[in-house]
Amino acid sequence: MSSVDMSVNIAGLKLKNPVMTASGTFGFGEEYGEYYDLKRLGAVVVKGLTLKPRKGNPPPRTVETPAGMLNSVGLQNPGVDFFLEKELPRLLNRGACVIANISGASVDEYCLMMERLSESGVAAVELNLSCPNVKEGGIAFGIKPDLVYEVTRRVKECSQKPVIVKLSPNVTDIVEIALAAAEGGGDAVSLINTLLAMDIDINTRKPVLGNTYGGLSGPAVKPVALRMVHQVAGAVDIPVIGMGGILDWRDAVQFILAGAKAVAVGTANFVNPLAPVEIIEGIEGYAIKQGFTSVEDMVGALL
């Protein structure tokens, strides 16, 4: 029996531990469910959903870069209805706590998806306001505070579920965006999404990615992510979910100390399929060693 209370409360949603998966790195849980019991995770944040199915961007979609990688998947997904009909029941059968992640081309689209998800078994919904790999949609919601406020407020109006607003690091002042999400009624913020980036093949003189630009993730972004989590946690009253380059439990502990109530593991899944469960164990071990009786006591415990 553990002496550490690993559970955390995110806007009324009680997670058994603070470790979730980062959207887009974990599919709908099917693949990694072969490696361990998905019930062990605080939550599974599924692949980003759109109203209609999306084919995604042309390959190549990934490339390794120093201490990280780029991806330009472009929200390939089967659409929210397919998710509700096929993928969600499978995940719930496995006993997972499921958080949906949605991207809309308009405020109305976010609301339409939210209404459908509200009646489902998902525990919460994360709003992706800033996918770096999708051109259409007209507006990049995530980079303008007034739009972040507006979409959050409208989505909250049609939502019975906690709403997590995922923030883009590709902004001048992330605190301003986080405050707008909180003012709009967001129940939590999660950060950071990937950093807009590119790579070039000097032999072909072409961009490496089929989409030219992609999102940088992995250890390379961790110091930026930590700084942003620290800044945002100091500025908003709602819970912060931290992510960006977490490879092991030490990284996860850093985010918790910086003020994150929960953390998400993304790129690390690709390196080690067991990373999330090893991170849960590592956080517990750290808490015991440092004399914390609960993870919640560790949140923001930076001296």
Partner 1 sequence: MKGPKVLQVVENKPIAAGIYRLELYHPALCEGVLPGQFFHIKCGGDKFPLLRRPISLSYTKRKEDAVVLVYRVQGQGTEYLSSRKPGDPLDVLGPLGSGFEVNGQYERVAIVGGGIGIAPLVELAGIYGDRAAVFAGFKDETFLLKELQERSPDVRVATEDGSVGYGGFVTDLLLKHIKEQRLDMVFACGPRPMLKTVARICRENSVGCQVSLEQRMACGVGACLGCSCATKDKDGGLQYSRVCKDGPVFNSEEVCWDE
Among 271, 285, 290, 302, contact with partner 1 (rule: CB under 8 A):
271
Which DSSP helix (H) or strand (E) runs through 63?
Answer: strand 62-65
Site size toward partner 1, by CB under 8 A: 37
The answer to whether 292 contacts partner 1 (rule: CB under 8 A) is no
Burial class (CB in 10 A: 0-12, 13-18, 19+), 40: middle
Which of the following is catalytic: 97, 111, 131, 158?
A: 131
Calpha distance 262→240 (Å, rounded): 7
Kindly indicate which of the ranges 87-95, 157-165, 264-272, 293-301 contains the residues binding partner 1, using the contact rule CB under 8 A. Answer: 264-272
Binding mask 145-184 for partner 1 (x = CB under 8 A): ----------------------------------------
**Shortest distance, CB of residue 30 to partner 1, whole angstroms?**
8
Of the pair 208, 232, the CB lying nearest partner 1 is at 208
- The letter for the amino acid at 224 is V
Catalytic-residue membership of 131: yes
The answer to whether 25 contacts partner 1 (rule: CB under 8 A) is yes
Calpha distance 253→275 (Å, rounded): 14
> Can you list the alpha helix ranges (DSSP code H) found in 24-128?
80-82, 88-93, 107-118
What does the buried/exposed string (b/e) look like for 77-95 if buried means 16 or more CB atoms within 10 Å of the residue's CB?
bbebeebbeebbeebeeee
Question: Is there a contact between 100 and 49 (Cβ–Cβ < 8 Å)?
Answer: yes
**Shortest distance, CB of residue 163 to partner 1, whole angstroms?**
25
Binders of partner 1 in range 71-130 (CB under 8 A): 71, 73, 76
Among 11, 16, 60, 301, contact with partner 1 (rule: CB under 8 A):
60
The answer to whether 274 contacts partner 1 (rule: CB under 8 A) is yes
Of the pair 147, 246, the CB lying nearest partner 1 is at 246
CA terminus-to-terminus distance, the chain: 29
List, by residue number, the catalytic residues: 131
